[in-house]
Structure 1
Amino acid sequence: MEAFLQQLINGLSLGSIYALIALGYTMVYGIIKLINFAHGDIYMVGAFVGYTAINSLKLSFLPAMILSMVFCAVLGVAIERIAYKPLRNATRVAALITAIGMSYLLQNGMIYLVGSETRAFPQVIENNIYEFAGLQVSQTQILIFGTTIILMLALQLIVQKTKMGKAMRAVSTDADAARLMGINVDNVISFTFALGSSLAGAAGVLVGLYYNSIEPMMGYAPGLKAFIAAVLGGIGIIPGAMFGGFTIGIIETLVSGYGGSMIKDAVVYLILIIILIFKPSGLLGKNVKEKV
């Protein structure tokens, strides 16, 4: 039982990172029905910005994470304005191909700038180990989980209580009707990209602390798993992204902890196939019939 609970704790830490990345996928999809496959690479850029802030600028954890979030927010808006806005009325396939191309551009651009080698992420906090009833929890795990909860609560407040959050919900429901009511849809979309990208930037710094290493290709696998998490919970639904992220993190850790480290990725992809077959709207989503 103790071993199971220990794996559960480890899974919550990993799931926190997936949840932060999944929120970006689900918000963008909820607003403009675009699967932004470059989102995982924005998370990678956030890790390198955090690395530079700590290693070169000598910032502590919190200022480095805030700087990474701001940089990634600006990057997300720039990508939306340059790559996605001109395709706003194009087919979804064209936008999807552009997103994949932007993903490769960010990966190879980072390789060109910093090289392809793996770098050790500087440890700016003491990773003390605490024991409770035979269970071990590291200071890094507490920091990751606590930071994730705070950011998720802040996101919920923004979406539910602010004027821009109400505009986001209106555009998500019906962009044309929102435009007729005087809402600047372009600004709402840009704000959504900024918000989602900033969360990915925070996740990049947290994963650097968690795994102690970063490299330019690090965004691919976590980005894909975060997308699966968003689909599992119900893409376009913010609580669904949180639920999906924690669920995927726990499942992956349990499979790995009980001797299945070689197949943990396959299990996650199998979950995607099962969800798409039996409940494509996600576990927290509702089936919506669309008139054509």
Structure 2
Amino acid sequence: MDLLTFLQQLINGISLGSMYALIAIGYTMVYGVLRLINFAHADIMMVGAFASFFAMDSFGISFALSVFFAILISVIVGVLTDKIAYKPLRNSPRISLLITAIGVSFFLENIVNVTFGGTPKSFDIPEYFDKIIHMGSAVLTPIVIIVPIVTVLLLCVLLFILFKTKYGVAIRALAFDIKTVSLMGVDSNRIIMIVFIIGSSLAAISGIFWAISYPILTPYMGVMIGLKAFAAAVLGGIGSVTGAVLGGFILGFTEVIFVAFFPEFGGYKDAIAFIFLILVLLFKPTGIMGINFEKSRF
């Protein structure tokens, strides 16, 4: 493999990892606040992709407007999921919340399946994303360059919100001790709603990026993507926003490079995420950037 080809695979891997990272942030933020692994989160990504597809296909609106529509629908679904499914179980055992999250995941998959049918849908890629960029012998598309840049920008915005705004302080305080913060007059349900709004928005953006990169949509597309994003969150350090992004980058890069070097084992590329997950749980359960939950959050 020559240098330019390696560079191409490197960029492809970072692009793939960026999409995992955007979903992993949602996992890690909800876990940081509620100690809940929201397995329905990846299906919100799928809802975002289908919402963008529906907006362009049925209403004929532009791609840019369909992005805002997808984010809006994903935020509504995310907030309603919390209000209807999770809020009534705030004080229940964690296993009840976990089972509920799995049930919500199945519900979203099947409601989309009933609405749009099980036949895979072809996402209409905007023309400007379909151009070819030549870098010597390497061939790239604009989306593989745009995705990492947008991911880093969104990470910077999120870190600013968490550490430089009053809502960020409230989120981190709530994550530290939800009962005490509630006693101090903070509306905990409102702050949790903001967490779901942020996570659902990032999931919708990731879903649109995924639809552009792999333009075949199915109601169950979020299952494997979600499991990999969860593995990325654990790899980077569940509860750490920066760790979730780092874990996504590492996972995406490794997956692409593995297939590039060992194409005959391409069918096993999905196993990489779970190998990482097992190794991390065995040797460093807190992840690469795992934080001390007794001292800090995110």
Q: TM-score range by the shorter chain?
A: over 0.9
Size of the alignment, in residue pairs? 290
Residue identity matched to 1:51: F
Tell whether the 8 Å contact from 2:40 to 2:105 is kept in structure 1 after alignment.
Answer: yes
Matched, 1:184 2:190: no
1:84-95 map, 5 Å: 84-95=86-97
> Any idea what SS the aligned residue of 1:261 has?
helix
The residue aligned with 1:160 is: 163
The residue aligned with 1:11 is: 13
Matched, 1:285 2:287: no
Tell whether the 8 Å contact from 1:21 to 1:203 is kept in structure 2 after alignment.
Answer: yes
Matched, 1:238 2:241: yes
Would the alpha carbon gap of residues 77 and 138 (structure 1) be closer, same or farther in structure 2, given more than 3 Å must change?
same
Q: Determine which of 143, 150, 167 is the counterpart of 2:153.
A: 150
The residue aligned with 1:248 is: 251
> Any idea what SS the aligned residue of 2:127 has?
coil
**Equivalent-residue separation in structure 1 for 2:155 and 2:64 (angstroms):** 16
Residue identity matched to 1:160: F
Shift of residue 16 of structure 1?
1.0
Would the alpha carbon gap of residues 152 and 53 (structure 1) be closer, same or farther in structure 2, given more than 3 Å must change?
farther
The residue aligned with 2:42 is: 40
Matched, 1:74 2:79: no
Q: Determine which of 268, 274, 277 is the counterpart of 1:263.
A: 268
Shift of residue 288 of structure 1?
5.7
**Equivalent-residue separation in structure 1 for 2:287 and 2:90 (angstroms):** 26
Tell whether the 8 Å contact from 1:61 to 1:125 is kept in structure 2 after alignment.
Answer: no
Tell whether the 8 Å contact from 1:46 to 1:205 is kept in structure 2 after alignment.
Answer: yes
Q: Determine which of 96, 99, 102 is the counterpart of 2:98.
A: 96
Would the alpha carbon gap of residues 142 and 289 (structure 1) be closer, same or farther in structure 2, given more than 3 Å must change?
closer
Matched, 1:227 2:234: no
Q: CA RMSD in A?
A: 1.6
Matched, 1:83 2:75: no
Residue identity matched to 2:176: T
Matched, 1:202 2:205: yes
Tell whether the 8 Å contact from 1:118 to 1:215 is kept in structure 2 after alignment.
Answer: yes
> Any idea what SS the aligned residue of 2:179 has?
helix
The residue aligned with 2:140 is: 137
> Any idea what SS the aligned residue of 1:100 has?
helix
Would the alpha carbon gap of residues 281 and 3 (structure 1) be closer, same or farther in structure 2, given more than 3 Å must change?
same
Residue identity matched to 1:223: G
Tell whether the 8 Å contact from 2:4 to 2:135 is kept in structure 1 after alignment.
Answer: no
Matched, 1:214 2:224: no
Matched, 1:114 2:119: no
**Equivalent-residue separation in structure 1 for 2:127 and 2:145 (angstroms):** 12
Gaps of 5+ in 2: none
Shift of residue 41 of structure 1?
0.6
> Any idea what SS the aligned residue of 1:131 has?
strand
Shift of residue 69 of structure 1?
1.1
**Equivalent-residue separation in structure 1 for 2:236 and 2:125 (angstroms):** 33
Encode CA deviations 1:232-263: one digit per residue, 9 max, x unaligned: 00111100111011111111111122213111
Shift of residue 169 of structure 1?
0.8
Gaps of 5+ in 1: none
Shift of residue 134 of structure 1?
3.9
Tell whether the 8 Å contact from 2:176 to 2:294 is kept in structure 1 after alignment.
Answer: no
Identity of aligned residues (%): 43
Tell whether the 8 Å contact from 2:236 to 2:287 is kept in structure 1 after alignment.
Answer: yes
Residue identity matched to 1:239: T
Shift of residue 265 of structure 1?
1.1
Shift of residue 112 of structure 1?
0.8
Tell whether the 8 Å contact from 1:54 to 1:60 is kept in structure 2 after alignment.
Answer: yes
Tell whether the 8 Å contact from 1:13 to 1:144 is kept in structure 2 after alignment.
Answer: yes
